[in-house]
Amino acid sequence: MAEEYQPAAGVQVASLILIVTGAHLRAEMADRPLAYRLQKSVEGWLAKHAAALAGPLRVLVCSDIWFMNQPAVLHARPTISVGGPGVNALSAFFYQKLPHAPVHDAETLIQLDPEFTDLRACVWGMNHESTAAAVDRFIDEFLPAYLRAVATQVEPSEE
């Protein structure tokens, strides 16, 4: 019988915004630094708007394996998957579930609910350079609206 995830002391899972990368070596080398760049942008937005937030939010970068193996605990949290389905199992899952944002082109893909009622997003490209461009585009064009939705969310989206 698998053990249920127990968060580290003091970690409030209900306050997490997750950024998920693949556990594949290529994802660790290329996508994890992009995830940390995204994390800094999210943390900057949260710091700027801290007074207006109902409570503290924390951004955590984690692997797809860790995320996928904790469905009861993590899957209802706001989540941004970074990296393509070839190196990130969550991106492969989201590819079938999330709508494509109007910025989709031959090299990059941003998937999200444009109404932000579903707080899952997926950002990737056909190679490292296009994934980096997709992350930058997500930060510039979608991150503020996404984070406003996260900050005002009453109930997590259930699948």
Main-chain dihedrals φ then ψ at residue 81, nearest 5 degrees: -95, 130
Q: Is 31 part of a structural domain of the chain?
A: yes
**pLDDT at position 156 over 90:** no
Q: How far apart are the first and last CA of the chain?
A: 24
Residue 95 belongs to domain spanning: 14-152
Would residue 119 count as lying in a domain? Answer: yes
pLDDT of residue 104: 64
DSSP secondary structure string, 20-33? EE-SSHHHHHHHHH
Q: Identity (one letter) of the amino acid at 107?
A: E
pLDDT at 55: 81
Read off the pLDDT of residues 11-27 as tens digits, 9 standing for 90 and up. Answer: 678 889 999 999 999 99
Q: Is residue 159 part of a domain?
A: no
Number of domains making up the chain: 1
Task: Give residue for tokens 């990737």.
Answer: 124
Q: Which tens digits make up the pLDDT trace of 95-129?
A: 999 988 877 678 899 999 999 999 999 999 999 99
48-104 per-position pLDDT tens digit = 999 888 888 999 999 999 999 988 889 999 999 999 999 999 999 999 999 888 776
pLDDT at 4: 46
Note whether residue 144 is domain-resident. yes
What is the CATH number for 23? Answer: 3.30.379
